[in-house]
Chains A and B, each alone.
Chain A
Amino acid sequence: MSEHLLEIKHLRTVFRMREGLVRAVDDASLHVDEGEVIGIVGESGSGKSVTMMSVLKLIAMPPGEIVGGEAVFQGENILSYGTKSSEIRRVRGGGISMIFQEPMTSLNPVLTVGQQIGESVMLHLGYSKAKARERAIELLRLVGIPDGESRINYYPTQFSGGMRQRIMIAMAMASNPKILIADEATTALDVTTQEQILELLREIVKKTNTALIIITHNLSIVARYAQRIYVMYAGNIVERGTSEEIFCETSHPYTMGLLKAIPRLDSDKSRRLVAIDGLPPNPAKKTGRCPFSERCPYASDRCSEDVMPPYIEYSPTHASACWFRPGELKSTRSDAAEGVLSKTVSSEAILELKNVRKYFPVFKGVTRRKIADVRALDDVSFSIYKGETLGLVGESGCGKTTLAKTILRLYDVTGGSIIFNGRDISRLPERRLRDVRREVQFIFQDPFGSLDPRQSAGSIVGEAIKAHGLAKTPEEYTRKVDELFRAVGLDPALKDRVPHEFSGGQRQRLSIASALSSEPSFVICDEPISALDVSIQAQIINLLIDLQAKRGLTYLFIAHDLSVVRHISDRIVVMYLGRVVEISPWNELYERPLHPYTQALLSAIPIPDPVVEKGRVRTRIEGEVPSLINRPDGCVFHPRCPYATERCRHSAPPLQDYGNGHQAACHKI
């Protein structure tokens, strides 16, 4: 039986918290074989990380406790080892090693990378100092960092985020582990860097015959890289199978819901996203029955039984924990997928940006002498028409948020003009901005930081009504606030609660309600869904689309995720290092991307379908987004561009029109 490299059987981990017993992992069984790549997918709180942390005995005990199950690794039950025993320490980092999400904080800043990699080598392989150094250089070469001999003496701060994640991988591979766990290892990285790191991981495990466990919330990543997938929900593994089985013969309603809820690069755009209703359950309130039943559109009487449904086995690899087979599922709720999106876009510009520049001065020394400018925005020009949604995409440092804050006049403009409804607002003093503030609103990325923790929900939503005197009487004020609550799908009875009593999705709804309270005509959405769980994202996107239709709003929708932007936008602007590189109607951009950067960005996005994935031709680019301080001369993209010529190094290409409102800035088109 025990021929698998690692087999976890009926693992149960609980946390004894103040609010009760939290069943973080509830009877989870999974296995990995040598050289295999598996994925564990789930939303936050689904228990995907806790499962692997339990196996390595890395959870905090107390409050955590492993109450049942075993984990057999190379013939031994490692769960029986003591938390601090030398056996478990040999497994950790030795037999099984792990890379984490945050490359910025997981390396010690006061030690050189050589010392940190060497430490791991000396500990697990018992090498001498000189030999450890050699091995460290070899490892750096393995993870694609050239000139290891000199780089080994660098400190972590001298590396970029992607490079640090490579170093983390080098450290994890230092002891020749049998299993490598990547816990959301690429979530914090840019799309193009993410792709590089995942490719690297795949190559390394193939070369060394190491098993790789990818833990992620992103279904598309596992579609591209994993051979087998486990889908977790509220501590249970609800479906397992090979990636073809999961994506093509989806059996569990939760997996189906997830697949329908994410916009895809190749999907029909007029299709409304099917959101999964409700919120993930509080693991402290689990009843023992199917945890998904409350949100399941197919739930029937049988699902309210007080037992977890057993697995139905479809094939030796494919099983789903549901009472029903896919054919037997009958929807008890009306399918929300009806309604084709339609809207009217006028030809009148609501906002025009003309050569907008925003430089941040860099000072140095005691005299605070100005030594340089960071050009966060460099000659940005485009227009947004009334009623449309303009998507703005780009990786970190491209100036997306700076642009938003400049339009909102939270930053002063260095040069150029911002024309809103025919009036140049770029140099208006703060006190004359008040009517502009009423018209232009903003939805923040982080629903946890953008709501004042000490204000009640009602007062947050009603704030702008008061600030602009939009309600004559207290009754009118209350009525307006209640209306806003209902408009974003919240119960007005929750008005007296403070933000931390709401979930992430609800808080984002509050944030939207508060943005709409001054009855704006133009709303800037700065990555409004990227901090939310997958099943909640679709709810928020649908809400934004509905509100646009009802209130005739114009959106500037900022995101780094091209598939989401494609779903919601009419036109798309692509930015790179403070410059606009391409502007295009959405369909043109995806069918005929002109700029090499756009092409690379598109191909870096995985599609949650292994069959489509295998047939895709991919443009890959090297390197990472450089720092704005060392901005390249000429075309800002030339150091990473596969087609760069001498001309690109010296002269910056202007935006040129290629018909149909499709513009791009490249010498080579």
Chain B
Amino acid sequence: MNDKTKSFFETLFSRKLVIVSALVILFFLLCAVASPVFATHDPDKQNLAEFLQGASSSHWLGTDQYGRDVYSRIVYGTRIAFLVGIFSVIMSGIFGTVLGLLSGYFGGWVDNVIMRLVEAIMAIPPLILALALVAILGRSTTMLTVVLAISNIPPFARMMRGQVLTVRDLDYVSASRIRGNRSLVTMLKHILPNCLSPMIVIMTQSIGNTILSEAALSFLGAGILPPTASWGAMVNDGYRYLTTNSLFALAPGFAIIVLVLAFNIFGDGLRDALDPRLRGAL
């Protein structure tokens, strides 16, 4: 490991909260990957005899209205959260980066077309846009991922464009043109790598927000199809029984809060570690 990566990790983990958030994310990731190991019951198996039970030694967080184990469903719910959160952010990240890069590098009419398109997406509130798209495209996990990705493109594209505009006029980019490189080489080799740090930061931070959006859509009934376990849908199911079995709604809600918070804090830490101005001060 060279000095640069070393100082990166040192800064990243200099705050205790960032370490905690990284551990939280890792733990949830482990739950998602090894759900069967962590779960105590089959998440989808109904057992109407045991419906809406409180916490007990066999059902740690009680059961839902069909008698399914809430704890196991939360464990399996991490899969959906990560799947939707990470994949949609990666998709929107890629599209946003490419659009921003083209827009910033070429300027002129390319910039105009791309930016007006992006602004058109931005003009509609993201949740409403997602609801509308789901209504048109139908409900499935893949659709949900795509829908969330589309509504997430504008901030990425705009961020990238801004980055490209600052880097584009630097001497080493002119140098690349003078040395005879084609536009594509200049763009991919010199501009893109120097614009990526802030993109990685906002991508991390949007994973949390996307998980929240997925939960919100599922809560509204426009997200994941039942019976697949999703935290948002569980909260929706559970809030009707708040008085009889409060854990049923509170436990998945708590999981959402913790994971989203962890991603946001980790994103903050990442920003501090990647920001060259802060690093230069050390």
The 8 Å CB contact of B179, one of A449, A463, A498, is: A463
Known: A449-B172, A452-B172. A441 touches B178 (CB 8 A): yes
Which residues in window 151-187 of B have CB below 8 A to A? 170-172, 174-182, 185
Instruction: For B135, list chain A residues within 8 Å (CB).
Output: none
Question: Which residue of A has the minimal Cβ distance to B179?
Answer: A464
Task: Encode contact with B along A368-412: 1 for CB under 8 Å, 0 otherwise.
Answer: 000000000000000000000000000000000000010010100
Known: A18-B282, A444-B171, A446-B171. A452 touches B176 (CB 8 A): yes
Give the distance to chain B from A299, nearest Cβ to Cβ, in Å.
Answer: 31
Which of B4, B180, B193: most chain A CB closer than 10 A? B180
Q: A453 on the interface (CB 8 Å rule)? A: yes
Query: B194 touching A410 by the CB < 8 A rule?
Result: no
Instruction: For B178, list chain A residues within 8 Å (CB).
Output: 408, 410, 437, 440-442
Question: Which residue of B has the minimal Cβ distance to A517?
Answer: B179
Query: A467 touching B172 by the CB < 8 A rule?
Result: no
Q: A129 on the interface (CB 8 Å rule)? A: no
Instruction: For A210, list chain B residues within 8 Å (CB).
Output: none
Query: A437 touching B179 by the CB < 8 A rule?
Result: yes
A468 to B179: give the CA distance in the assembly, Å: 9
Query: A450 touching B172 by the CB < 8 A rule?
Result: yes
A288 to B195: give the CA distance in the assembly, Å: 44
A464 to B182: give the CA distance in the assembly, Å: 11
The 8 Å CB contact of A450, one of B171, B193, B194, B282, is: B171
Count of chain B residues with a beta carbon within 8 Å of a chain A beta carbon: 19
Query: B171 touching A449 by the CB < 8 A rule?
Result: yes
A101 to B275: give the CA distance in the assembly, Å: 27
Instruction: For A442, list chain B residues within 8 Å (CB).
Output: 174-175, 178
Query: B194 touching A453 by the CB < 8 A rule?
Result: yes
Instruction: For A451, list chain B residues within 8 Å (CB).
Output: 172, 175
Question: Which residue of B has the minimal Cβ distance to A447?
Answer: B171
Instruction: For B177, list chain A residues within 8 Å (CB).
Output: 410, 437
A167 to B31: give the CA distance in the assembly, Å: 66
Query: B171 touching A464 by the CB < 8 A rule?
Result: no
Query: A518 touching B194 by the CB < 8 A rule?
Result: no
Task: Encode contact with A along B221-237: 1 for CB under 8 Å, 0 otherwise.
Answer: 00000000000000000
Query: B193 touching A454 by the CB < 8 A rule?
Result: yes
Question: Which residue of A has the minimal Cβ distance to B192?
Answer: A454
Known: A18-B282, A453-B194, A454-B193. A463 touches B170 (CB 8 A): no
Q: B189 on the interface (CB 8 Å rule)? A: yes
Query: B181 touching A467 by the CB < 8 A rule?
Result: yes
Query: A467 touching B179 by the CB < 8 A rule?
Result: yes
Q: A438 on the interface (CB 8 Å rule)? A: yes
Query: B171 touching A514 by the CB < 8 A rule?
Result: no
A467 to B181: give the CA distance in the assembly, Å: 5
Known: A18-B282, A446-B171, A467-B185. A452 touches B180 (CB 8 A): no
A344 to B4: give the CA distance in the assembly, Å: 48
Instruction: For B190, list chain A residues within 8 Å (CB).
Output: 452, 455
A440 to B171: give the CA distance in the assembly, Å: 16
Instruction: For A449, list chain B residues within 8 Å (CB).
Output: 170-172
Give the distance to chain B from A447, nearest Cβ to Cβ, in Å.
Answer: 9
A449 to B190: give the CA distance in the assembly, Å: 12
Q: A423 on the interface (CB 8 Å rule)? A: no
Query: A467 touching B194 by the CB < 8 A rule?
Result: no
Task: Encode contact with A along B1-30: 1 for CB under 8 Å, 0 otherwise.
Answer: 000100000000000000000000000000
Give the distance to chain A from B2, nearest Cβ to Cβ, in Å.
Answer: 9
A511 to B175: give the CA distance in the assembly, Å: 9
Instruction: For B193, list chain A residues within 8 Å (CB).
Output: 454
Query: B172 touching A438 by the CB < 8 A rule?
Result: no
Instruction: For B182, list chain A residues within 8 Å (CB).
Output: 467
Query: A518 touching B179 by the CB < 8 A rule?
Result: yes
Query: B176 touching A463 by the CB < 8 A rule?
Result: yes
A410 to B193: give the CA distance in the assembly, Å: 22
A341 to B219: give the CA distance in the assembly, Å: 82
Instruction: For A438, list chain B residues within 8 Å (CB).
Output: 180
Give the distance to chain A from B191, nearest Cβ to Cβ, in Å.
Answer: 9
Instruction: For B170, list chain A residues within 8 Å (CB).
Output: 449
A441 to B177: give the CA distance in the assembly, Å: 10
Give the distance to chain B from A75, nearest Cβ to Cβ, in Å.
Answer: 39
Q: A434 on the interface (CB 8 Å rule)? A: yes
A190 to B97: give the CA distance in the assembly, Å: 42
A449 to B181: give the CA distance in the assembly, Å: 18
Which residues in window 428-446 of A have CB below 8 A to B? 434, 437-438, 440-442, 444, 446
A437 to B182: give the CA distance in the assembly, Å: 11
Instruction: For A452, list chain B residues within 8 Å (CB).
Output: 172, 175-176, 189-190, 194
Give the distance to chain A from B184, nearest Cβ to Cβ, in Å.
Answer: 11
A453 to B190: give the CA distance in the assembly, Å: 9
Give the distance to chain B from A49, nearest Cβ to Cβ, in Å.
Answer: 19
A451 to B178: give the CA distance in the assembly, Å: 13
Which residues in window 483-513 of A have CB below 8 A to B? 498, 511
A653 to B262: give the CA distance in the assembly, Å: 71
Give the distance to chain A from B163, nearest Cβ to Cβ, in Å.
Answer: 14
A311 to B177: give the CA distance in the assembly, Å: 54
Question: Which residue of B has the minimal Cβ distance to A449?
Answer: B171
Which of A410, A441, A444, A463: most chain B CB closer than 10 A? A463
A258 to B179: give the CA distance in the assembly, Å: 35
A518 to B181: give the CA distance in the assembly, Å: 11
Instruction: For B189, list chain A residues within 8 Å (CB).
Output: 452, 455
Instruction: For A453, list chain B residues within 8 Å (CB).
Output: 172, 194
Give the distance to chain B from A226, nearest Cβ to Cβ, in Å.
Answer: 34
Question: Which residue of B has the minimal Cβ distance to A459?
Answer: B189
Question: Which residue of B has the minimal Cβ distance to A448?
Answer: B171
A467 to B178: give the CA distance in the assembly, Å: 11
Question: Which residue of A has the minimal Cβ distance to B182?
Answer: A467
Give the distance to chain B from A16, nearest Cβ to Cβ, in Å.
Answer: 13
Instruction: For B181, list chain A residues within 8 Å (CB).
Output: 463-464, 467
A434 to B179: give the CA distance in the assembly, Å: 9
A460 to B148: give the CA distance in the assembly, Å: 40
Task: Encode contact with B along A256-283: 1 for CB under 8 Å, 0 otherwise.
Answer: 0000000000000000000000000000
A116 to B259: give the CA distance in the assembly, Å: 51
A517 to B177: give the CA distance in the assembly, Å: 14
Instruction: For A405, list chain B residues within 8 Å (CB).
Output: 174
What are 25 of the A-B contact pairs (CB < 8 Å)?
A: A18-B282, A410-B174, A410-B177, A410-B178, A440-B178, A441-B178, A441-B179, A442-B174, A444-B174, A446-B171, A449-B170, A450-B172, A451-B175, A452-B175, A452-B176, A452-B190, A452-B194, A464-B179, A464-B180, A467-B179, A467-B180, A467-B181, A467-B185, A514-B179, A518-B180
Known: A464-B179, A498-B4. 5 other contacts (CB 8 A): A442-B178, A449-B170, A450-B172, A450-B174, A467-B185
A interface residues (Cβ-Cβ under 8 A, vs B): 18, 405, 408, 410, 434, 437-438, 440-442, 444, 446, 449-455, 463-464, 467-468, 498, 511, 514, 517-518
B interface residues (Cβ-Cβ under 8 A, vs A): 4, 170-172, 174-182, 185, 189-190, 193-194, 282
Top 5 A-B pairs, shortest CB-CB distance: A450-B171, A437-B180, A464-B179, A449-B171, A467-B180
